[in-house]
Amino acid sequence: MSSRFSLPLFGWLVLVWLMLWASPKPVVLVSAPLVALGVLLLFPLPTRRLPTLRPVRLLRLVGFVLVDLVTSAVRNSREVLQYGGDVRAAVVAVPVLSDTDHVIATAANLVTLTPDKFVLQVDRRGGVYYVYSLGVRTPEQVNRAHDQVLDLQVRAVRALGPPDEARDVRERAGRVYRRGAVSPEKPPEEAS
Amino acid sequence: MIVRDAASALLLLTGAVFCLLGALGLVRFPDLPTRLQAATKPQTLGLLLVLAGAAVRVEPKYIPGLLLVALFQVITAPVLAQMFGRAAYRTGDYESSVLVADDLAERLREQGGRPTDSPG
């Protein structure tokens, strides 16, 4: 029982309930803790430990993702108007920079909000995201998509990851960047 | 008041334009994964802008509700995209001519076509 019960999560659920009804009626106030308790009992989360939150980095991550979302929508619209049915895409393998479930999941979700991409598959054991990237036509663009996903991961890990991962994530990302790579190790086939 | 009206109108209209572009993408793109992109990106931004436009104009007590809509849209849209994208890819429901590179196909070939395990 106690292991299932997480106070911050309980607080969050109560808050969501109150926001949903947007009124301080007694019924709402009484039902909020009951609903929250019910949800916690019926749907226990596998992870007990709450993520480490670093507010400043988290805010910067949110800002970054919002900007990304706008660019994303604009670029996607351009693909629609410019290419339509003649659009091209690629599936790119990108190393996962974290070993924490919630960070991997969050990063995957954030990638989906960034320009032209979504995570097609997470290979948890092998530590690889397979990212579907729209609007990719050349090997350089494949590399750029690869590095963009890494960038976002660095931000996510630094904002939400456990301290030991956050400390050296930049360094680990630096080793796998393809930025300025003259010959990528896997040259993709040219589009015909 | 007129400033708020103008801001609200601008946000609502911009949002609507993005939703329209998303819908256009659904029609013009050739296969499921590309259509998913159109369904998630411009639509999400469009909805957020429409919500912002509404938030400027409505009574303040409704704003938390709008915030919740925005939050859950941002949380759930990627999950949906991921699930559908994976299902489409697994069942071969995509135009291979669209892809200029495919690391996952290479990987699956190496493993004899057996899909790797993965959470959610």
- Mean pLDDT is lowest, of A133-142, A167-176, B76-85, for A167-176
Q: Is the pLDDT of residue B118 over 50?
A: no
Interval B98-112 mean pLDDT: 72
pLDDT tens-digit series, residues A62-101 = 888 888 888 877 887 887 787 777 778 888 888 888 777 7
Using the Cβ of A24 and the Cβ atoms of chain B, whether some distance falls under 8 Å is answered with no
Contact call for residues B83 and A119 (beta carbons, < 8 A): no
What are the E-state strand segments in B1-120? 99-102
Distance CA A78, CA B31 (A): 17
With an 8 Å Cβ cutoff, are B86 and A120 in contact? yes
pLDDT tens-digit series, residues B17-74 = 988 888 888 888 888 888 887 777 788 888 999 999 999 888 888 888 888 888 888 8
With an 8 Å Cβ cutoff, are B40 and A112 in contact? yes
pLDDT > 70 in chain A, percent = 85
Q: Does this complex have an ipTM over 0.90?
A: no
Q: Is the pLDDT of residue B100 over 60?
A: yes
Residue-wise burial string across A74-108, b where 16 or more C-beta atoms lie within 10 A, e elsewhere: bbbbebbeebeeebbbbbbbbbbbbebebbbbbbb
With an 8 Å Cβ cutoff, are A69 and B44 in contact? yes
pLDDT tens-digit series, residues A107-162 = 888 888 776 788 877 777 777 888 888 877 777 778 888 888 888 888 888 887 77
Note the pLDDT of residue B16: 93
Q: Is the pLDDT of residue B80 over 70?
A: yes
Distance CA A182, CA B10 (A): 45
Contact call for residues B116 and B90 (beta carbons, < 8 A): no
Q: Which residues of B touch A120 (CB under 8 A)?
A: 33, 82, 85-86, 89, 104
B52 or A190: whose pLDDT is higher? B52
Q: Which residues of A touch B26 (CB under 8 A)?
A: none
Q: Which residues of B touch A77 (CB under 8 A)?
A: 18, 21-22, 25, 42
**Cα B62 from chain centroid (whole Å):** 25
Per the prediction, chain B carries an average pLDDT of: 81
Strand partners, A123: A128
